Amino acid sequence: MQIKPVLSALQKHRLAALLIVLEIALACAVLCNAGFLIASRLSAMQLVSGVDESSLGFIQLEGFDPKVANDLNARVVAGLGAMPGVQSVHVINSVPFGPQAGAFGVTLDQAGKQFRGVPELYLGDPGTPEALGLKLVAGRMPGAQDYQSVVEGYLPASSNVLITRTFAQRLWPGEDALGKTFWTGKNQFRVIGVVANLSVQQYDEEGERGAQWTVFVPTKSGPPLAGTYLIRADPQALDRVMVEARTVLARIAPDAVFDHQQSDTLPVLRERFFATDRAMAGLLVGVIVALLGVTALGIVGLTSFWVAQRRKQIGIRRAIGATRGDILRYFQTENFLIVSFGIVLGVVAAIAINLLLMKVFEVPRLPLHYLPIGALALWLLGQLAVLGPALRAAAVPPVVATRNV
Amino acid sequence: MFGYYLDLALRSLRRNKALTALMVLAIALGIGASMTTLTVLHVLSGDPLPGRSGTLYYPQVDARDDSGIMPGKEPPQQVTEIDGFNLLHAKRADRQALMTGGSVPIRPDSAAIDPFYVEARYTTADFFAMFGAPFRYGHGWNAADDEAKARDVVISGELNERLFGGANSVGRTLRMAGSLFRIVGVLGDWAPSPHFYDLNTGAYGYAEQVFMPLQTALDLHVDHNGSSDCWGNGTGGVGRIYPSSSCVWMQFWVQLDTPAKAADYKEFLVHYSEQQKALGRFVKAPNVRLRDLMQWLAHMQVVPDDVRLQTGLAFGFLLVCLVNTVGLMLAKFLRRSAELSVRRALGASRRALFAQLLIESGVVGLVGGVGGLLLAVLGLWVVRHRPSDYAALAHLDPAMLLTTFLLALGASLLAGLLPAWRACQVAPALQLKSN
């Protein structure tokens, strides 16, 4: 198939061809960027929490008198622990995807000069790291002697803590974190163990906090650690346990208010946490589908018009020896050329839009491999859209050439 | 002539139903998508207190030391307890209110209702008058009650409905957070959106049901919710442990009736900072801001990024739809070259042909606009059923309804301009010869 005659024929339809080129370019630009946004939403939803989500549930009670906190903790741990299917119950301040329970700026020195970020702190009573299912990569889990009471404020004055691999690298890049100390205000932490992952409670991509910037502080239950509980249960029994826990709690802790909003299984809390991301990804998919649909219909409409307009020329070409395949390929080549021009423009536009998005919304740079994928999608779309009108063109009989009207 | 062209347009559109349907669909999809997102954007970026927002200001002072916990040149987004009360007691504005948020447990007298938690605002006397909160019954408390740590409370109409069946409950008592409070006022429907006076609670779909004097709340040590940023040795801010003195965790709003007063107040904030520095409390040079309400919302970028992104995306989509419509109209008009050339030959001016073709594209735009409106209504319905805190707000108002039609009509006329101009270039007699 020669390209030159196709190009010279297009010269006669400059305006219409230009419009398709423009449409393809816009579609290409939007497609690449929307596709990239979808992919980043989906990858954000893959956040590794580092805990055995399918076995865990979180319960929050409120409105009790702080004076009865110890008594309440004892009643709840005993009451919930006695339920069939429950493996263990712990007092914990929060869980991944649970309510934000405390972020503290930390420094490497007591004077507070070497600031290293604002991690989230997990406080839990003996056995909590094991119940969460934290995976130790270095050092040891806290032993009974490491769990301390909070005398003043929110934290023990000095504690032996677990930190995540990621946060250890943040504090001491390239060094062994074990045995090292860091501070938040007057409170000192000594690292006794490093865990693979333990994600923050409410991860905000735009925030300054990394997803795995967490510290686990072993604490004895009792004020201020009260009213929030971790249930570990058999995964099959977890949903039932969480439902029945409400009736059990109404009986054993009538003086506390059950927080329906925050208390749920971790899979549900996770799902809820990512609900807006999922909705946005769905919306973007919808826009892409509509966009490609409209573009395809536009190509069908304009090509059909061209076929109708050129019926006579097609007849003549057929009469002087062109096969049906020749006619079909002519329109396919024409479409390929137009779409290619569109893609060239579209790639430039895609990068421009990405630069704009980077500036306004702080999205990352568009990886280059999205461009060929987008181009391929549009070539395919163009060929599919042109097939119908091109087949109709190929079906034009040679005899048309001899007719006057 | 208009009627005749309209008739011609309808005939022509009917002649090629598939192509017409394609054009209408493209416009409707584009308009539907952009109107849905534009309506959401319009609702979310609206003025929470129309008529009042111009005189409300949010003062910021910088009490931080230079330990670097909170870098950046902007002063903190809230004030410390000390600065808050200092500024409140200075009474340099027409009205001023210091506040923070929290939640309190309510124990209804009736045994039939389980104890429950409600969102609460701990604030000072001017709050209601300054923000124009309407009272259904009773009134707010006064500055003397603030200082006396009075056990007074104002409740929302919703809570009044829940506890007292909507009756006038002023003077009755309410057991909250282990203390007995006297109800002094019941608010009418009032839920400014965005929740401008404290954005830390979430900007949309948040409304307190209980309002109590700030000093009473501090005295009783009720739960504090919201953000607290600390520096130096500052800690706390979780539940009943209040943030320490080197933490910002309160919001301070003032009403300044004239721009001159606003300028004076800013001056005052600078003097205040200098004075605090002289006292040794502030370390930095005076670093103050005095934004009015709308500036504050813009500064805080209260409209979610997702919503702005969606709007941009939808308009990109509308653009594709328009280019598509331009192409289809071009095909449609050029196909009628013969007919147009006959009209030219019979004496119609280019201008007349142009008008005729534009009317045709206008009809497509109107029909597309109606379709787009239906799609937008559907789209907003979908938005309302999506999990976001602003979902309930997504409704079409008359202004947006009008915008929809103007946008649809404008878009389709714009789309018709180029094809119509191109089609008018046809020579009067040339087309007559060939077919």
| pLDDT tens-digit map of A114-163 | 888 888 899 999 999 999 999 999 999 999 999 998 877 778 889 999 99
Across B378-407, average pLDDT = 81
More confident residue, B322 or B408: B322
Q: Which of B104, B63, B102 is nearest to B84 (CA)?
A: B63
Whole-number Å distance between alpha carbons of A214 and A103: 9
**What is the structure's pLDDT at B67?**
57
CB pair distance less than 8 Å for A63 and B422: no
Whole-number Å distance between alpha carbons of A277 and A281: 6
Across A354-363, average pLDDT = 84
Tell me: the pLDDT tens digits for B294-351?
999 988 888 888 888 888 888 888 888 888 888 888 888 888 888 888 888 888 888 8
CB pair distance less than 8 Å for A63 and B105: yes
- Are A145 and A249 contained in the same domain? yes
**Closest residue to B323, CB basis, from A26, A284, A309:** A26
* Side chain identity at residue A213, one-letter code: W
- Are A130 and A62 contained in the same domain? yes
Tell me: the pLDDT tens digits for A190-208?
999 999 999 998 887 766 6
The pLDDT-based confidence of A361 (bands split at 50, 70, 90) is confident
Tell me: the pLDDT tens digits for B347-386?
888 888 888 888 888 888 888 888 988 998 898 888 888 7
Interface test mutation site (partner A, options B70, B308, B313, B335, max chain A beta carbons within 10 A): B313
Residue of A nearest to B306 (CA): A280
Q: What is the ipTM of this complex?
A: 0.76
Domain boundary among A273, A291, A310: A273
* Side chain identity at residue A331, one-letter code: F
Range of the domain at A230: 53-273
- Are A291 and A382 contained in the same domain? yes
Q: Is B384 on the interface with A (CB under 8 A)?
A: no
- Are A15 and A126 contained in the same domain? no
| Alpha-carbon gap: B293 to the closest alpha carbon of chain A (Å) | 23
Whole-number Å distance between alpha carbons of B283 and A147: 39
The pLDDT-based confidence of B264 (bands split at 50, 70, 90) is very high
- Are A113 and A259 contained in the same domain? yes
Q: Is B231 on the interface with A (CB under 8 A)?
A: yes
What percentage of residues in chain B have a pLDDT greater than 90?
A: 33
**Closest residue to A276, CB basis, from B105, B327, B387:** B387
pLDDT tops 70 at residue B237: no
Query: What's the token pair of residue A31?
Result: 């497609």
pLDDT tops 50 at residue B212: yes
Contacts of B111 in chain A (CB under 8 A): none
- Are A253 and A288 contained in the same domain? no
Mean pLDDT, chain A, whole residue set: 89
**Closest residue to B319, CB basis, from A26, A118, A186:** A26
| Alpha-carbon gap: A194 to the closest alpha carbon of chain B (Å) | 25
**What is the structure's pLDDT at B66?**
66
Number of domains in chain A: 2
What percentage of residues in chain A have a pLDDT greater than 90?
A: 50
> Is the backbone of residue A153 left (phi > 0), alpha (psi -120 to 50) or beta?
left
**Closest residue to B320, CB basis, from A15, A102, A294:** A294
Give me the helices (H) in B291-384, please.
Answer: 293-299, 305-335, 337-345, 350-384
CB pair distance less than 8 Å for B232 and A185: yes
* Side chain identity at residue B424, one-letter code: C
| Alpha-carbon gap: A98 to the closest alpha carbon of chain B (Å) | 15
Residue of A nearest to B68 (CA): A115
| Alpha-carbon gap: B113 to the closest alpha carbon of chain A (Å) | 12
**What is the structure's pLDDT at B233?**
60
- Are A316 and A397 contained in the same domain? yes
pLDDT tops 50 at residue B399: yes
Q: Which residues contact A306 (CB under 8 A, 6 or more apart)?
A: A13, A16, A389
Whole-number Å distance between alpha carbons of B108 and A102: 31
Across B231-252, average pLDDT = 73
Residue of A nearest to B33 (CA): A287
| Alpha-carbon gap: B100 to the closest alpha carbon of chain A (Å) | 18
Mean pLDDT, chain B, whole residue set: 86
Question: For strand B116-123 and strand B210-213, is the pairing parallel, antiparallel, or unpaired?
Answer: parallel
| Alpha-carbon gap: A27 to the closest alpha carbon of chain B (Å) | 7
A44 by Cβ neighbours in 10 Å (0-12 / 13-18 / 19+) ranks as: middle
- Are A257 and A365 contained in the same domain? no
**Closest residue to B235, CB basis, from A34, A185, A287:** A185
Tell me: the pLDDT tens digits for A11-69?
877 888 888 899 899 999 989 988 998 898 888 888 999 999 999 999 998 877 778 88
Q: Is B21 on the interface with A (CB under 8 A)?
A: no
- Are A222 and A366 contained in the same domain? no
Residue of A nearest to B422 (CA): A15
**What is the structure's pLDDT at A137?**
94
Residue of B nearest to A404 (CA): B435
Dihedral angle over CA of B223, B224, B225, B226, nearest 10 = 180
Binding-face residues of B in 347-376 toward A, CB within 8 A: none
**What is the structure's pLDDT at B70?**
45
Counting one residue from chain A and one from chain B, the pairs whose CB atoms sit within 8 A come to 146
- Are A226 and A371 contained in the same domain? no
Q: Is B309 on the interface with A (CB under 8 A)?
A: yes
CB pair distance less than 8 Å for B235 and A283: no
| Alpha-carbon gap: A330 to the closest alpha carbon of chain B (Å) | 20
Tell me: the pLDDT tens digits for B53-109?
899 999 999 888 765 444 457 888 899 999 999 999 999 999 999 999 988 888 887
Domain boundary among A273, A305, A322: A273
More confident residue, B304 or B288: B288
Q: Angle B79-B82-B85 (CA atoms, 0-180°, nearest 5)? A: 85
CB pair distance less than 8 Å for A298 and B316: no
Across A297-324, average pLDDT = 88
Across B188-208, average pLDDT = 86
pLDDT tops 90 at residue A236: yes
Q: Is B317 on the interface with A (CB under 8 A)?
A: yes
Across B139-143, average pLDDT = 93
* Side chain identity at residue B279, one-letter code: L
Residue B65's φ and ψ, nearest 5 degrees, are -90, -170
Q: Which residues contact B258 (CB under 8 A, 6 or more apart)?
A: none
- Are A298 and A241 contained in the same domain? no
Q: Which of B33, B27, B30 is nearest to B362 (CA)?
A: B27
Q: Which of B118, B122, B91 is nearest to B104 (CA)?
A: B118
The pLDDT-based confidence of B117 (bands split at 50, 70, 90) is confident
**What is the structure's pLDDT at B69?**
45
B97 DSSP assignment:
E
Whole-number Å distance between alpha carbons of B359 and B353: 10
- Are A236 and A290 contained in the same domain? no
Whole-number Å distance between alpha carbons of A383 and A376: 11
